[in-house]
Structure 1
């Protein structure tokens, strides 16, 4: 993952819990990096170690950490660092979700070494959609849940998110039902 992801985790922790808490998490993770460079690619294991250390330090489940980070990623990181990219996604939640399958094509212009997930939509209704999430990375469905919650907050639209199918149960991908 790119450094911007790890930097965002750092920003989330420092903003909400202080620099000392971040230093404790970094120490607990065993990661020996003084600072993350946003445009540099880092091994995925660094991000997962930081998330696990945050869960331990904060006495939260890893799922809770991933949801919180997903929301933060949308509401703070991407909205502040890439406002043009986010506003190009659509004028409301439904439009953003309908454009999500091509969203990472634009992101890859900024981060060419990105290994993006793939999103497909089905069961498109007036107030709901099924989002199919495909990724080479395991265990990030709660991060995606947080992203979806963050997108709802971005558009001031309460969302309900139900995980209908997941890879941990032997499926090829995760399927979320999102309603608003």
Structure 2
């Protein structure tokens, strides 16, 4: 994971809970992280620990924090990297169909990136299934937030829901987006 995620998390907390909450989360984190370095790779543990600390600090659940992080990361990406968003498609369906290839291209720019793997299935006129393969458990809420952020960005009247986990040697979450 690269620092853009941390920048988005910082922006989310500042905008929704204020500077005091953000300073408390950072101080409780216990390690100095420069959240302005978008080009620096970070371990995924940073992401989960920030979600847990925010949950403790504000009384929301860790799943709510992860969902909100996912949703806000898409908004931040659109604001700061609009070209990246536009290169993936002009609507939600195109974007989702192009999603599996995106991280492969980003790895050319960020060679230390260890990205998640996406897959697409059941492409229909009014729905699509997104498969998310990951190493870290507990990512479902983040991906739902990510998909919700995409729906918002593309101004679609759509819903995203979690369908199932497939046990096939590598953990995989399946989400259905319908419009």
2:118 paired with 1:119: yes
- Structure 1 window deviating more from structure 2 (25-34 vs 6-15): it is 25-34
* Deviation for aligned residue 1:20: 1.2
- Counterpart contact for 1:101–1:119, Cα < 8 Å: yes
Counting only pairs closer than 5 Å after superposition, residues 24-103 of structure 1 correspond to structure 2 as 24-33=24-33, 35-75=35-75, 77-103=76-102
> Tell me, which stretches of 5 or more residues in structure 2 are unaligned?
none
Residues in 2 aligned to 1:24 and 1:167: alpha-carbon distance in whole angstroms? 38
* Deviation for aligned residue 1:61: 0.8
State TM-score, norm by structure 1: 0.90
Residues in 2 aligned to 1:43 and 1:118: alpha-carbon distance in whole angstroms? 16
Detail structure 1 runs of 4+ shifted over 4 Å in the superposition. none
Residues in 2 aligned to 1:34 and 1:108: alpha-carbon distance in whole angstroms? 22
State TM-score, norm by structure 2: 0.90
Residues in 2 aligned to 1:166 and 1:12: alpha-carbon distance in whole angstroms? 29
- Counterpart contact for 2:135–2:171, Cα < 8 Å: no
Residues in 1 aligned to 2:144 and 2:120: alpha-carbon distance in whole angstroms? 15
* Deviation for aligned residue 1:34: 5.3
- Structure 1 window deviating more from structure 2 (50-59 vs 38-47): it is 38-47
- Structure 1 window deviating more from structure 2 (65-74 vs 133-142): it is 133-142
Residues in 2 aligned to 1:12 and 1:167: alpha-carbon distance in whole angstroms? 32
Which whole-Å deviations, capped at 9, do the CAs of 1:103-125 have from their partners, x for residues lacking one? 11232233221111111111111
- Structure 1 window deviating more from structure 2 (14-23 vs 66-75): it is 14-23
Cα 1:109/1:24, change in 2 over 3 Å: same
Cα 1:34/1:131, change in 2 over 3 Å: closer
- Counterpart contact for 1:2–1:42, Cα < 8 Å: yes
The alignment's C-alpha RMSD in Å is: 1.9
